[in-house]
Amino acid sequence: MMNSKTKLAILGMMLLISFSFAGTKKSENANNEEKPFAVKTLKSYASRHGLSSSQYQTEVNNYVGKGYKLAYVDGYYVNGKTKFAGLWVKGDPSQQILRHNLTETQYQAEFRKNHDKGFRLVHVDGYSNGKKALYAAIWEKQSTRGLRARHGLTSKQYTAEFRKNKNDGYRLVHVSGYGVKGKDYYAAIWKKGNASGYVARHRLSSKQYQETVAKYWKQGYVVTQVDSYDVRNKIYYACIMEKKSGRFSARHKMNSKNYQLEVENHYYQGAIPISVSGHDAGKSAGYAAAFKNVTSWKSRDVNQLDSKIRKVMKDYKIPGTTIGIVKDGKLVYAKGYGYGVKEDKTIASATSLMRLASVSKPITSVAIMKLVEQKKLKLSDKVFGKNSILGSSYGKKNLSSREKAITVQQLLEHTAGGDAWDHNWKPEETDTWGPPMFQKKKLSQKKLIGWVLDDRDPSHKPGTVYKYSNYGYCLLGRIIEKKTGKSYQSYLRNNILKQCGISQMYIGANKKKDRKYKEVVYYANGGDAYNLQMSRMDSHGGWIASSVDLMRFMVRVDGQNSKKDILKSSTVKTMTTKSSVSGYAKGWSVSGGNWSHSGGMDGTSTLIKKMDNGVSYVFLTNATGNGSGQAGAMKKALEDGIKAIKFWPNLDLF
């Protein structure tokens, strides 16, 4: 402690591996005031940030009751309020003493009392409440020998203490920087032992911190702790870098949303935060963190995959991409690359929401097949006319004989409308029609359907010609509504997606300002990503989702036994049986044991695929128009990267 030399010891953070992902909460409101954010990642691990003092205490009590112990706590003063971030690991909380909001006098007294009871200080964090220094600390029941702890040190005193302890054979294991009334102070813990093999720095600017990390990273040092703190509106960093094997990463200059996205993005790569620190970044909080990978993924396998994807992004100037990979029904890897929002540098995460475009069609198909399975309709049911599903609800003119002949199966297989209903932007000589779903944008869905029925009689006898049709899948959405009495989105969310464990899939918004929390921004070179009618496109191209949730969907309909399907095996077989006139089945392009569906519209390029080797994958991007071949290049990069993986870890990140 300050002005005394008490020997202490520290417990290393125990990182237990056990996977189970739960949900997330929004962390900021419209006024940019940070709200508590919660994300459970591993069964043996949890993190929280943006907590008030009372909320932090509630979380501590909550985790004590669940058998978790606090591994890391950080206090920070933002916008006139004290906030807390914490990391918990599974363990015996009865062997800990936890305190926060201690004044220097209270902290000193608490330290002595706990020391006398045989509790060792393992973590201390200094922070300000705008007037004075306060402390949060963790003590654990174990030997108090072999460590030294100090607090309230100026930069000069901390430097002197560091040198002295190093000469005495003590190794720095924790450092906390904090600003009080325009001055920086430090609290730290040293452990008796080998004082080599690590580097410690403090009072670094963002640039200096970045340069320091880059310099020592090349020499085999990784960030094991980083602390950020603000002094007179300037942000500083203190860090510890150690020579350690394994996969580590570090991030700084994150706002609350990016920190949330980074935690989630790292989780789906198999990494958890081992250090987190908040600071005042003006009107909101800023964060720095260090992460450690706790899976058996090999660096060579991950690095070659990442490099292939990044190359395509660079070649085609794609701001953001997310991917998901399933092996034998288990989610083994998912990641966001680049930016979801370029303008404010919001990252793309595995949990970022992106438009699916026509990857929406397999989702609609599964809903139709579920209704068939439940005997609420038949594939042979007529869609229009007397005794049909939709009857004469749409249009003003009498239906033609071809329109009356259309069946549900023909809509699923794109064999209903021929040239009149197709998605051909450059009509052949046989017609002058453009794609109906992208015309007359001011018409409601109902009026658009009526316009097509009145003006565009199918060009071929239904069932005889394959012509890809968004309009046909729009009609399937209306069939779902007719048969269920619910809106398309409501039925799908509650009766299909919920069964897959999915709660964060929605029909997207038309306008940029109305996008969902964690939804990216779309960039269309030469096009307009916000001149689309997403609600009108619902059942053929309106969904937004994360790559993780799309893989949750895939494993529940893939006909394998690794995860229980929401459809019967006979239904899956019917769904993936190709039509008599093309390689398209019902919502899927099928080739042998491979199923897939691609999607594309201004600002969006997507693909979902199940391969016959037990691997499924998805990619979503938030840009188009930067050269032809973008989707094909990304597909090749992913499949080449997957093929090159030599060692698949046995884990499931769902």
Domains belonging to the chain, first-starting first, are: 37-294 (no CATH), 354-643 (3.40.710.10)
User: How confident is the model at residue 24, as a pLDDT?
Assistant: 33
Sequence-distant (6+) residues with CB within 8 A of 399 are: 384, 385, 392, 453
Strands 170-180 and 133-141 come out as unpaired
Say yes or no to pLDDT of 19 above 80. Answer: no
Say yes or no to pLDDT of 39 above 70. Answer: no
Q: Quick check: 481 and 281 in contact, CB under 8 A?
A: no
- Over residues 613-629, the pLDDT tens digits come to 999 999 999 999 888 89
- Over residues 464-479, the pLDDT tens digits come to 999 999 999 999 999 9
User: Average pLDDT for residues 171-191, to the nearest whole number?
Assistant: 97
Query: If you average pLDDT over every residue of the chain, what do you get?
Result: 92
User: How confident is the model at residue 561, as a pLDDT?
Assistant: 84
User: Average pLDDT for residues 236-260, to the nearest whole number?
Assistant: 97
Say yes or no to pLDDT of 1 above 60. Answer: no
Nearest in space to 518 (alpha carbons), one of 283, 319, 350, 271: 350
What does pTM read for this prediction? 0.91
User: How confident is the model at residue 299, as a pLDDT?
Assistant: 94
- Over residues 375-433, the pLDDT tens digits come to 999 999 999 999 999 999 999 999 999 999 999 999 999 999 999 999 987 766 566 78
User: How confident is the model at residue 498, as a pLDDT?
Assistant: 98
Q: Residue 516 burial (CB < 10 Å; 0-12/13-18/19+)?
A: middle
Residue found under tokens 């399937």: 476
Which of 431-440, 534-543, 577-586 comes out lowest in average pLDDT? 431-440
Q: How far apart are CA 610 and CA 96, in angstroms?
A: 48
Question: In the chain, pLDDT over 90 holds for what percent of residues?
Answer: 89
User: How confident is the model at residue 94, as a pLDDT?
Assistant: 96
- Over residues 340-352, the pLDDT tens digits come to 999 999 999 999 9
User: How confident is the model at residue 246, as a pLDDT?
Assistant: 92
